[in-house]
Amino acid sequence: MPAAGAPLNTATLHRFHSAMNSGDPETVAKAIDEFVAPDVHFHAPVPMGATGAEALKRVWEVLLRAFPDIHVAVEETITEGDKVVSRNTVTGTHRGEYQGLPPTGKTVTYNEIFIFRFTDGRITEIRGIVDVLAQLRQLGALPS
């Protein structure tokens, strides 16, 4: 039997992804404040000097500068207990500096999987795997 908050957690994650797809840094920051606990445990490579929700905001600042048209397409979600798994396809056009690379104008498509743990309707833990290798190959930073 699903946990009582499972459908609500899935709906919250979909609202969170919708805000991420807005392309607006202010909307993204507000969504992080609304849906993510300030002390979220973020288990993914993040900018040094930041933790919790602030680290997540910095990640999105970098992504939106580099890929202003970034779009996260949720391919499937799986909900169990207090966790929601999201398998996504990400697309974007490289229009700003990213990982030391000047803008190339190239479009990238890569996959990611994230596990979100919820407590009282907010995201309190994030574990993610992003196919950065595919991303960097498409940008020409690594050989195909």
- Decide if 78 is inside a domain: yes
* Cα→Cα distances 51→25, 26, 86, 98, 101, Å: 18, 19, 22, 21, 25
pTM: 0.90
pLDDT (mean) for 6-27:
93
Percent of the chain with pLDDT strictly greater than 90: 82
Residue 98 has what DSSP assignment?
B
Contact 108, 91 (CB under 8 A): yes
- Decide if 59 is inside a domain: yes
Instruction: Give the C-alpha separation, 81 to 121, whole Å.
Output: 12
The 10s digit of each residue's pLDDT in 39-73 is 999 887 666 678 899 999 999 999 999 999 999 99
Our count of domains for the chain comes to: 1
Q: Which domain holds residue 15?
A: 6-138
- Decide if 143 is inside a domain: no
The CATH number of the domain holding residue 64 is 3.10.450.50
Instruction: Give the C-alpha separation, 71 to 115, whole Å.
Output: 18
Residue type, 103: P
Q: What is the pLDDT of residue 1?
A: 42
- Decide if 144 is inside a domain: no
